[in-house]
Amino acid sequence: MIEIKSKREIELIKEACRIVALVHKKMEEIIKPGISTYELDQIAESIIRENGGIPAQKGYPSYQKGVMDFPSTICASVNDEVIHGIPSKRVHLKTGDIVSIDLVALKNGYHGDAARTYIVGEASSEAKRLVEVTRQAFFEGIKFAKPGYRIGDISHAIGEYVSKNGYSVVKEFQGHGIGLKMHEDPGIPNYGKEGRGPRIEKGMTLAIEPMVIAGKSDICELEDGWTIVTEDGSLSAHYENTILVTENEPKVLTIL
C-alpha cells in the first residue's frame, strides 16, 4: 500500500533528508585521491549522529543465508561497482576513479535517502559524461512526478533518456517509496512503459534513483553477498534523491 504522508510526517522526512544532504556536501569536499572508503564511512556516520540521526543502512539485514548484515553507514561503489559496495580500509581512491556514495539517515522514525557519483581528481571525458547523464536522468524522470501521471511515466522517461545517450539501466534494482520504512511501495523501475503503474498523488515521498551502466546492463554479485558489479567491467554511476510530490512541481528534499 502506498502511504500518503501527513504534514507532520513530511516535516520529519525533510529533517532526515537534510542530514543526508549534509553528508553529501561533506563527501563532495573530502573525496580526493588517497582517501579510503572506510574514512568516508566514518565521517558520514559522525555527521549523521551529530545531527541526532541513525545510519539506517548499518546493520540492514541480508535476505541471503550466511551473508552478514550490511556493516557500514554508506555504500561506496567504485568504478564497475554498481551499488552496495562495502567501505574498506584497503580501498584508497585514485585519480580517475568514480565512486558512488549511497546513504540513508533515520531520525525520529523517518528516513531520507540519496546517492551521488563523485569523480576523484581528474577523470576521463567518458566517465564525466556517464556521471552527468545519470544525474540528468533523475531530473528527466521527476518531470513526471506530479499528480495526473503514473509511476511508469517516471520510469519511461529515465529509461528513454539513458538509452538515447547510449547507456544501459540496471533492471534488477529500482527506486522506491520512503518514510517510516526505508523501502516502501511503490517500486520505481528505471525503465518501463508510459501510463502504467500506480497513480502519482500529492503527499507521496519517493526515492528515485537511476543506476546507469556505460556498457551492457548485465550485473553480478560478488562473494561478499552485497556488492553488485557490471558483468563486462564497464563503469557505472548512481544518482538518487528523496522527493515530495506536491500539487505542482515535485520538491527535492535531499539537496541543500
Domain positions in the chain are: 7-252
First-to-final CA distance of the chain: 30
For the domain made up of 7-252, the CATH class stated in words is: alpha beta
pLDDT of residue 65: 86
Answer for the pair 109, 12: CB distance below 8 angstroms, yes or no.
Answer: yes
pLDDT of residue 29: 98
Its pTM surpasses 0.95:
yes
Answer for the pair 17, 111: CB distance below 8 angstroms, yes or no.
Answer: no
Cell of 176: 522506491
Low-confidence ranges of the chain (pLDDT < 70): none
**Cis previous bond, 186, omega within 30:** yes
pLDDT of residue 55: 98
| Eight-class DSSP state of 40 | H
